[in-house]
Amino acid sequence: MKPFSSRFEAGRLLATKLSRYRNHPEVLILALPRGGVPVAYEIAKELNILIDVFLVRKLGVPGNRELAMGAIASGGLGMLNEDVVRAFEVSEAEIQSATDTERMELEKRERLYRGTRPPLNLLNRTVILVDDGLATGATMLVAVQAVRQQYPARIVVAVPVAATETCEKIKAEVDEIVCETTVDTLYAIGAWYENFTQLSDEEVSELLNRASLIKESTEKL
């Protein structure tokens, strides 16, 4: 028996640990697509708070795209791993080319996921960053640093499962971290879910739209 039947169940469990944020108008959730969206959807629904997506795109080394030499995130922040850039002798032109390609993909996905809704304003708000798990934590660290550039009041990270060392590393970078389950070694996040099916872009959009409609309906009550 695995700890979580699905990302949705994991989100409901996390919501109980975040209950103090229920109905708070200055709190919002940013989900890291795609896996973080169903987790965040359940938290947003249970706590009646706003939800949006926050994308991070890896910049792959030319000829070895799985190896990250940096990343870009929503809001335009770009980061480079100078050690990797030097080790693989990546040129400025190659960095720019990779950045342009990934920025186009990031903007495309933001339009796809968000539709006509503008990005949420993070200034002076409590931002809860959500994903379905943390192995190395590299993507979440980029997200945290990118969110910080928009001057929120607090940054909270919430995940169902995380490697203990990674959880401690992220903890040093944020105001609060909530890890439902921590393990010494986390090789594969999917190993902690009975159902770890990848969501389609359409399913991500549908969940975000549904969450928005639920929030609007509660505000009218």
Measured CA to CA, the distance from residue 94 to residue 62 in angstroms comes to 7
| Residue matched to tokens 């103090």 | 20
Domains and CATH numbers, the chain: 7-53+124-220 (3.40.50.2020), 57-113 (3.30.1310)
Answering whether pTM is above 0.85, one says yes
Residues 6 or more apart whose CB falls under 8 angstroms from that of 127 comprise: 27, 28, 29, 30, 147, 152, 154, 155, 156
Indicate the pairing of strand 50-53 with strand 27-31: parallel
Per-residue pLDDT of the chain in tens (221 residues, 90 and over written 9): 568 999 999 999 999 999 999 999 999 999 999 999 999 999 999 999 999 999 999 899 998 887 889 889 988 788 888 988 999 999 999 999 999 999 999 999 998 998 888 888 999 999 999 999 998 888 899 999 999 999 999 999 999 999 999 999 999 999 999 999 999 988 899 999 999 999 999 999 999 988 887 766 666 55
User: How many CA atoms are closer than 13 Å to the CA of 95, on its beta-carbon side?
Assistant: 17
Collapsing DSSP states into helix, strand and coil, what is residue 49?
coil
